Chain A
């Protein structure tokens, strides 16, 4: 009964949120820039010839010219530390602060929509952007890989060779892994966004959180807290590229990200539901 009441009109507002998000030019500009990463990477490899020694540059870089399916993986590894968090910072930092800044927040709330529901919807919107971002990167990677390089069965880290469809499945799994990581960051951004009416501030603070977390992960003195850091497992999807597939790191990363979503989601809830809307 209570659940029915919460769900009433929920789908309508989700659709509205997605249509507002994906009708902004800014959203498309960010997705277009993300698409440029695999494109530039592939072109750079193509121009430099096929003579990159293994172990130089990002992982898999040496394999890109041998098999176009590696373009997406390599681009993803390049984009995880800074670029993807930057775009998530923009979208998640803007969720509440952006509406507060334009004043549209007060008109949403008196429509009326409950504050809890609005937070959930905003998180869904940011998550949808995370999916769009990783999918854009991987799909563009596959397409440029097909155009510029030979494509065939993929040799895994373990030395096993898998078919093209099996490789595509693993590409999708890696995109899912990264999406989950970005959802953890989105929850942090959503919370920060409830603290201010200046969206740029919330965006920057979200990016700072992801950067600081990555710096802390490099300090051996803090080894004891490393497993709890938001970003610690972000690059740990190598397990997915072995045969047989190992979901261990996927599970650990998912648990950490869910914990961040729960903690920062609750913080956002307690902050936002008691906040005076004075903008």
Chain B
């Protein structure tokens, strides 16, 4: 039996036994290489389920859709390791009760999809923790190294050119499961903290705000990068900030559901004399 068929069976069981009220997975999209998010509420709907190497989107943002988990019922969701890290963070930041999430874990290497054994996020902790060891290597990117070689002025010019295309659609924010604020700082207009205009300054402001708010929280799922309609290489910013946080604080986001947020926690005996 293929992995896809195994998981279809599991989804049908989860739904018919009443273990979960819904499973969030993938189905076919408009073209052969596209996948769509799928919300499965009956065992029959599981027929549409698809699981292959094109199922790369991190679906965990849907879990915190208003009201979904408020009835305390369980929801199943297809997650890769980056998605499991995401729900760990969401739990650590008190956005969801991780007990309510049944994880249908899988991983993709090249064209191959493998099943991950486990049912709740905690079951995958060994695997998740092992990601940290490989992180310095995994976060490497030749383009980041190239940019590091530039002097600050040249690097600024590079990003200025990239951000000049930004249209401030905020697709990067909407696509990110970690951007869950009810009212994003850029939408606060009493006072207007951040310019809404999509000019050079405004585009910089937005992209810097985004980079900082995701530092130490981003799991590198790539949702933002893929969503950006003008193809700004947001992955470079995310990976560079993750390197920084790993190097400075020995912190990789999403290792457990009790991990302290690195830039949002405070210790009385902190060696620094100020907080940001």
Do these two chains really belong together in a complex? no
